[in-house]
């Protein structure tokens, strides 16, 4: 893994952070600090195996954030309004227990 791939992942995580936590300043800042802290704490790593492992973890985190995190806003003390991003909304295709017969 080269420096270019590490920087690409770093930028990707920050873009994902900005998209996933849009309009939530506290979450944006917490995620920014965590990303920067993780990269800074491992900046002197020289083992290619360890770097590959860290890159895999970073890529997995990026994918999980993009595909699994949904913002919620408290509308009152008992209600939460979920705000899914457009890319998380999937077409709902009904499930059919019985297979169709081919003629």
pTM for the whole structure: 0.77
- Predicted confidence at residue 1, as pLDDT, reads 64
Chain length of the chain: 103
Distance CA 76, CA 73 (A): 9
Query: What contacts 24+ positions apart, CB below 8 Å, involve 56-64?
Result: 58/9, 58/13, 59/9, 61/13, 62/9, 62/12, 62/13, 62/16
Which of 103, 102, 2 is closest to 52 using CA atoms? Answer: 2
When pLDDT is averaged across residues 65-84 and rounded to a whole number, the result is 87
Please name the residue that has the structure tokens 């309004």.
81
Structure tokens at 21: 């936590």
Distance CA 61, CA 14 (A): 11
Q: With beta carbons less than 8 A apart as the criterion, state whether 5 and 58 touch.
A: no
When pLDDT is averaged across residues 5-23 and rounded to a whole number, the result is 95
When pLDDT is averaged across residues 22-46 and rounded to a whole number, the result is 94
Distance CA 42, CA 54 (A): 9
- Predicted confidence at residue 102, as pLDDT, reads 67
């Amino acid at each position: 893994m080269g420096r270019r791939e590490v920087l690409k992942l770093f930028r990707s995580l920050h873009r994902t952070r900005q998209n996933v936590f849009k309009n939530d300043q506290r979450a944006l800042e917490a995620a920014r600090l965590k990303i920067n802290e993780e990269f800074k704490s491992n900046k002197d790593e020289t083992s290619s195996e360890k770097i590959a492992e860290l890159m895999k973890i970073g890529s997995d985190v990026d994918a999980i954030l993009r595909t699994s995190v949904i913002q919620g806003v408290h509308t009152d003390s008992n209600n939460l309004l979920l705000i899914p991003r457009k890319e998380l909304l999937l077409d709902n295709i009904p499930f059919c227990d019985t297979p169709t017969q081919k003629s």
